[in-house]
Chain A
Amino acid sequence: MDAVEKANTERQKRWVKDQKVGEGTYAVVYRGREASTNRKVAIKKIKVGQFKDGLDMSAIREVKYLRELKHQNVIELLDVFSSKTNLNLVLEFLDSDLEMIIKDRSLVFLPADIKSWMAMTFRGLEFCHRNWILHRDLKPNNLLIASDGQLKIADFGLARDFADPGYKMTCQVITRWYRPPELLYGCRYYSTAVDIWSVGCIFAELMLRTPYLAGESDMDQLKTIFRALGTPSEQDWPGHTKLPDYVPMGQFPKQPLRDLFTAASADTLNLLGQCLVYEPRKRISAKDALHHAYFFALPYPSQPTKLPKCAAQLTAALPLEELDGNTLTGKTNRLKRKLTSPSDDTKTRPAVARRLDFTKPTPGS
């Protein structure tokens, strides 16, 4: 056994897989614990053998970027090891996500709670951006909530480093409802502003308790955005008519945010408005957002421990959303969140525990 293998077994011994909690197209997630401390972890086993072209892109991205990031509001990658032909990522174990909390109608959000979540989101995002990483898939169910209430940004499967000298980036990123107009127009050169737009949508969603800009297709998404925020003029957003996929959309008047968010304070609407500015360069940065008057005004942001929590915090609720490489399927993930009976890990059975049944089409995909 050579040194590398020895090190790998060493690592593998540190973690114990307990029970399978979910499965997606490119990975299976197990609940596990650290052998020495019994600390709960999530172990994500990436199926390597299935892919002819090698490791799935999002797995590479996830490891590449999470290895670099360690911050209170970013999910922590504790370890990586391989077993047989599989790659295993050991991640922090997190109980619930923001989407579950938003959907739980029994919970009441105070303005201070929303402020606290927003502050944590912006802090995590600022940390990514300062390290030159775009997340490119921010949405409530990628914002996981730890048992102590801390919000953590997860799923770096679409992340990418930015600020390189003019390489093209793909515009097919970010779940549709949270995708900024420049990506919908097929822009191939963009920057941190794309994540800020998503955060703006999440901010609005926290207040409305329902997705703010829910378009049914990419075209409809643009229309939904314009209906809510008005069609941008050349002055609002210089140069947008030259973007690759630009199509005239018809003129919609701007609706004042105040009409929809009747109870929000002026500071709140100002920050929201600045997150949803059409011209990406004028959109507020995560750092500036953290210094916005909204966060300093009363009420102070709630302590994370006091934030509303999902009553039905399933023991099995895990960062399952990460499983799905396809971000565009939207709501179908929830269907996969079923408890399966505990299955032994790969030591006894060499193959993947259970494969997804591809014969039945999943709704929405």
Chain B
Amino acid sequence: MSETSVLTQGQKTRIWIEANLLGRLAPAVTLLAYLFLFVPIVVLVAYSFNASRSTVVWSGFTFDWYGEVFKDRGLRQALQVSAIIAFVSALVSTAIGALTALAIVRRRFPGRDALATLLLAPMVLPEIVMAVALLVFMVALNITLGYFSMIVSHVLITVPFATLIVRAAAASLDRRLEEAAADLGANEWQIFWRVTFPLLLPPIVTAFLLAATLSFDNFVMSTFTSGVGTTPLPLRIYSMLKLGITPKINALGALMVLLNVLVVVAVMGRHLKLILKK
């Protein structure tokens, strides 16, 4: 307590501000923000068990809406379309992203910075402009809208993310391991497949999962590039919303939360346990 006497009034004020503004404001805002993010989801999940058709008035508990989700053929088809597109586009964009990232980190070539910047363009350009451009392009070239156009559009917007993730990991990779392999007589190809690739696998998997998630959730691109029999899940949901919001939509949302929590636990499970045990 004797310390306080040394402090001037101004310093005291500063400490008070620190304690209150930085010390309390930050956690308070964080708490409120997480409430803001999660309250709608909790309400959404809760009402997926509502016995009546309403998403406002609670009238009893039921699992029926989950049955409805599984029975809906249109929804199943849309899910299938979205899964195929998410899988293929994530695969393609991870492959392209990984190759590009390695080239940018490891190789010297003219226009390297320009290419690195250009590749980020799809991240900052308004999605709707790219979507419109692709639609116009496909029409001009007489390309039928469908899986191809959708996959291309999804690859375009997910490649920057895949590149960034792999690039960050590749930049911090310990090159001595590769040099050691070279000293032991391994050729470039062997070094890549036996050393570099395994080391980069975790970020590549992360990139794949992120790309798949972004593609699965994409609405804007798909609005313009989807074609015959290739209505993806978000577009199907949009037309379901048009007929009114029923607990069936909530049930679908709840299933998505469940699926994603499962994926997170599968990928990060061990890591999470370590964090919480510490």
A, B assembled together: no
